[in-house]
Amino acid sequence: MATVDRRGATRIVRTFIPLAARAGLVALVVSFTVGGVAFAQPGASGVSVYFLRGEQLARVSRPGATPADAARQLLAGPTRAESKLGYRTYVPAGTRLRSVTVANGLATVDVSGGFTSGRSADDRLARISQLVRTLTGLQGATEVQLLIDGKTVDGAFPGIPTAAPITFRYLQTPNIPVPKPPAERRLPPDAKVKAAQTKLIALGYLLRGDADGRLGPTTQEGILAFQKWERLERTSALDVATTARLDTAEQPTPLTHGASGKRAEILLDRQIALLIDNNRVVRTIAVSTGKPSTPTPPGDYRVYAKIPRWWSVPFREWLPWALPFVGGIAFHEFLEVPAFPASHGCVRQSTAIAHWTYDFAEVGMPVKVIAST
């Protein structure tokens, strides 16, 4: 499997993938290629159209045989059934296709002005990636020239020059370094903090060795996970209510009974994940899942890859310690992990916990996303 190192070089991660998980890996290989472009060719089954599932592009098949067919299907958006499975489009509703031609490897596509509408930079980055990926490969197209109402535009898509033709390879190429965790401000040890840490270790929110008496990122993450499970106010602080509940709390237990071995339950309403081994919760962590416009779809999935550094093509950002389990939806590290749902569908984790989760997980590990508890 191809990943990218800190210098942008391709790195191969080889993992054994059980048969049950291979279908998900196919989606990863199709939608995420570092070393070269996997061209989409029309055939008897139709044309390939690219929407998003989480932080990555995701392919669906549509009727048609020409670049114009593919572009129209892209503008039509996902079906209702696909939307329930987490497929999303960032192309504004009502965007019209004016024309599309392919000559000498260049696809020239002209769409209406609505294509550049909206204030969200992420939305615009995603839609240009959808369009370029959908047209790449059709009738030999290797680059795409965007026109808006018959004219070239530039500056509408942050960091992506569109006055000249662009390639999908360009979008695949990282243009920023892997983000580093912020420098930790080490506070002096405190006896009350150490007492709380000891209780959080016993309850499975922190690990042995974490009781140093300092209120740092790891302890704050553990406190937040505890507050979410206990349905307390989400402050990440040792407030009066949290301190009192620590005296009577019990260790979380799985909501469902599964087979022996490792698995995960993601509780959307509480915004936590339970990491489970042999039907015992090993650790409870705070997460931030998909926001209302891009929700994380409930269901039963499996981790189909472990990717130390995953580049999000549509959003042009790094997703360290990624554990994808359905399309481009994955556990991953992120610098901003609020106490509420805020992602594009993925399961964000703080820098204090993501590497541990990555080491805990296995390819093929079941992941159950639960809407309400």
Report whether pLDDT(29) > 80: no
What does the pLDDT average to over 10-24? 37
**Res 263: pLDDT:** 98
Query: Vertex 315, ends 304 and 270: CA angle to 5°?
Result: 60
Q: Is the pLDDT of residue 8 over 80?
A: no
Task: Choose the weakest-confidence range: 15-24, 141-150, 278-287, 326-335.
Answer: 15-24
Q: pLDDT band for 182, please (50, 70, 90 cuts).
A: confident
pLDDT at position 45 is 73
- What is the longest distance spanned by two Cα atoms in the chain? 72
pLDDT of residue 183: 86
Partners of 208 in the beta sheet? none
- Assess whether pLDDT exceeds 50 at residue 43: no
Alpha-carbon distances, residue 199 vs 119, 165, 196 (angstroms): 45, 59, 5
Average pLDDT estimate for 151-170: 96
pLDDT-above-70 percentage for the chain: 88
Average pLDDT (323-349) is 97
Average pLDDT, integer, range 275-285: 98
Q: How far is CA 75 from CA 63, 131, 263, in A?
A: 14, 9, 38
- For residue 3, the Cα-to-chain-centroid distance in whole angstroms is 15
**Rounded average pLDDT over 241-251:** 97
* Percent of the residues in the chain that have a pLDDT greater than 90, as a whole number: 86
Is the pLDDT at 11 greater than 90? The verdict is no
Instruction: Work out the mean pLDDT of the chain and round it to a whole number.
Output: 90
Structure tokens at 133: 């990926």
Q: Is 275 exposed, middle or buried (0-12, 13-18, 19+ CB in 10 A)?
A: buried
Instruction: Report whether pLDDT(300) > 50.
Output: yes
Provide the 3-class DSSP secondary structure of residue 22.
helix
Q: Does 1 score more than 70 pLDDT?
A: no
- Asked if pLDDT for residue 89 goes beyond 60, the answer is yes
CATH architecture of the domain with range 1-37+178-373 = Beta Barrel (2.40)
- Residue range(s) occupied by CATH 2.40.440.10 in the chain: 1-37+178-373
